[in-house]
Chains A and B, each alone.
Chain A
């Protein structure tokens, strides 16, 4: 087949990129080779727009065993154990086919964890949908939630946490980011490497079919009215097969003869073979005639680009292939040798005795063009800082405002969603969804637990991507602190629009700069991540959405905290400073339908001090509850602690110089509401004074089942609960 300009452009390659391929090969590529370059050089696989920026992120730390570059990051937690984690997006597939898009997103991220030799122990998800009233939103929401449940429940990995926001900017481009956390014995850490000339390459798992053909290329362009025509690019998942694959891969991970293992994810056989060989600085030959196939008419092009799910590429020591294959056969899985490691530096692909592709491995993985895209501060930002209503003189009924806020889809209880997820399987879930600011998973046979949270307020990032991204890191880490864990590391899921648009690229630059500074100050390196660009529909971009997943370590499970108020007469404190900040708030969005104003400020030094203080109070056993102040402000935070505790609170803030709206619903950062039992009061106050952090004693937990805040709010907990539990899918 002759490679025409039309074919090149259809592969989402530029003519300049094509010239570069020709130069590398010193000849014209054939169609199979063109396909292989097109997927590995896609934005999705090559990070060609974001690479220079990502290099700036802090990735090292004493407890970091593996930073970015492998299938997932690895963090040492002592006792010979390590935690593996990563977040990944499946946005475009979910926009077209929500159930399978989300399901295969779960499957893919689980395989990234098991390739490291780790058992997956928790799943989280971060979802963005359009306006809740939009009928398509309901369709997408139910499809995505059903897909996550259908897949995650069946494979037996608990879905323990997540977050969901609704905003018009996601109407046609929902975001589905899934995070998986695994655990392994450090000595069994597996890498995705191929080495040792002559060693066999084993294909294991599902058969190869035409599904997901060119998914990586599809994920690297904007959605449009014609995107439904790409539906065949969405893969179909089989969670039962995945469960078998988990068990077989974990069995093989502990074997001395295993060299390396990689999931056939985006760009399937092409990416797994070339990336493994490239890491091992070796060559590899694979014979496509040996690949288990669903359809015997598959062309080499289709096999190399297929994204059929639940497949693994494995390299073992020569002579042990039989033992390895037997493990997969025990679990009724295909496993067969399809190639071997070569001493040269080429990926050689054979089919029916012909060589159908021969490409330098490093050319595919390392030589993708890197673009320094032009950037420019967007115009909209200059006009967004003025709030077009005077909130200091509103005569709103604050009870009504609070009820409206806590029943808004973004704040309301997500029980109808998380009850569809098996969040208990594994019997290690100490803090279940809705009970604390982060999920908490026990580490069996130790006294330790892992806290996990995933967060991003993209409204802040829209108004100020630099500060908004700092807040995303601050809030995610604050959440794990609130259950009693020391934040250890983050994984970032960076979702933006088209990077070729200079205003979007400016957002990406600002956002990564913000993440970098926050991670440095809060001592949480970035160990893994994912970049999803081209989240535009018909050229309308989403808000910048840098999703931050964080894990924290609890050293002693006897000192953990949930968000509910516990006993009457416990004293309530607010840690941190409240400022006259109402910009970018849920209040403005829900009550006035506007996204404007200044993003809340963040002082990372103060944030760290507040987090450290809260953590010390928890580990000293001095507090009964902790809940961070986020969307909806102090009034919403207090409401949630009352609702979950089924108990009232009497709050007296008094004169602070702030407007009532800012006092009740402002979203000033670095604030945590804690409650202290009377017998711990003296010690708690002494400690707070010693730490010299800003704090205020604001009230008491009461038995009268009302939330009262000064003379502004007076609502029964039953009414609050009814509003909070009102979300209908």
Chain B
């Protein structure tokens, strides 16, 4: 099983993600450079958090033109697993691998804090090790995490079970108070209709060790491992 983490100019969670996958999950992982033109064979590609191209123009808007992104889009269309975390999620939106857009946080500030997210659909490659309605404790750190899409898209997301995580309180109550950034319907993470491309604003790689405050992020990596092992058998 082999992961890849893509470094864009301005990525700053690339090594955190690498350590989480390699040192904590004990999986093989390669670091890829955004400027490469060829993509090797991988079971899962991670677009990490950070400020690719300084978030200039719009978060993720310039990264989508990186040479490797062309290959990554082909890989996604062929059914390959991709997870975009924070800025990675923003890049997936800009490349239209996922629907919708990110607005600036409602309070117009960067927000870094521990939050809770509730699982809405456990029948995906990214969430199969988590029970539906379970609550995970995973931190957020972003300026533009206020997810928005039109009503038609939202209905499709809901009907297809593409809304994977919603911000909640520690008891799983989904309310305005539990919504850190004004995101539509408390959306924290969505996947595409084929369920092979997943975008998530919270940072699971920051929640993989007890000493860092939470291990809940491991459940997402465990789900991916389950899925890959099953599909290989």
Contacts and interface: CB of A to CB of B under 8 A. Distances in A.
Contact of A154 (B16, B19, B55, B213): B55
B51 A422 contact: no
Interface in A235-253: 238-241, 243-244
Interface stretch (A106-114, A272-280, A426-434, A655-663): A426-434
A424 B9 contact: no
B51 A425 contact: no
Interface string A667-708: 000000000000000000000000000000000000000000
Nearest to B7: A247
A429 B111 contact: no
A492 B7 CA distance: 37
A242 B112 CA distance: 21
Interface in A514-564: 557
A173 to B, nearest CB: 26
A308 to B, nearest CB: 17
B19 to A, nearest CB: 7
A726 interface: no
B139 A153 contact: no
Given A154-B54, A427-B212, A422 B110 contact: yes
B218 to A, nearest CB: 13
Nearest to A243: B10
Given A420-B110, A430-B211, A244 B9 contact: yes
Contacts of A194: none
Contacts, number: 80
A156 B54 contact: no
Nearest to A421: B112
Contact of B9 (A240, A420, A557): A240
Interface string B213-227: 100000000000000
A193 interface: no
A426 B139 CA distance: 13
B112 A156 contact: no
A426 B53 contact: no
A226 interface: no
Contacts of B10: 154, 240, 243-244
Q: Which of B12, B209, B211 has the most CB of A within 10 A?
A: B12
B54 A240 contact: yes
Q: How large is the interface on A (under 10, 10 to 19, 20 to 34, 35 or more residues)?
A: 20 to 34
A248 to B, nearest CB: 11
A444 B19 contact: yes
B16 A425 contact: yes
A239 B110 CA distance: 15
Interface in B1-60: 9-10, 12-13, 16, 19-20, 49-51, 53-56
B19 A155 contact: no
A516 B149 CA distance: 61
A155 to B, nearest CB: 7
A557 B211 CA distance: 9
A425 B141 contact: yes
B110 A153 contact: yes
B87 to A, nearest CB: 11
A418 B110 CA distance: 10
A442 B13 CA distance: 16
Interface in A150-193: 150, 153-156
Nearest to A444: B19
B109 A420 contact: yes
A422 B51 CA distance: 12
B111 A420 contact: yes
A420 B111 CA distance: 5
Contact of B50 (A156, A420, A421): A156
A132 interface: no
A645 to B, nearest CB: 15
Interface of A: 146, 149-150, 153-156, 238-241, 243-244, 331-332, 418-427, 429-430, 432, 442, 444, 557
Given A154-B12, A442-B211, 13 more contacts: A153-B110, A156-B12, A240-B56, A331-B9, A418-B112, A420-B112, A425-B16, A427-B16, A427-B19, A427-B20, A430-B212, A432-B213, A444-B19
10 contacts: A153-B110, A153-B112, A154-B55, A240-B9, A240-B10, A243-B10, A420-B110, A420-B112, A427-B20, A430-B212
Interface of B: 9-10, 12-13, 16, 19-20, 49-51, 53-56, 109-113, 139, 141, 143, 203, 205-206, 209, 211-213
